[in-house]
Chains A and B, each alone.
Chain A
Amino acid sequence: SAVISQKPSRDICQRGTSLTIQCQVDSQVTMMFWYRQQPGQSLTLIATANQGSEATYESGFVIDKFPISRPNLTFSTLTVSNMSPEDSSIYLCSSPGADQETQYFGPGTRLLVL
Chain B
Amino acid sequence: KAGVTQTPRYLIKTRGQQVTLSCSPISGHRSVSWYQQTPGQGLQFLFEYFSETQRNKGNFPGRFSGRQFSNSRSEMNVSTLELGDSALYLCASSLAERSNTDTQYFGPGTRLTVL
Is the pairing of A and B real?
A: no
Residue numbers of B with Cβ under 8 A of A are none
A→B interface (CB under 8 Å): none
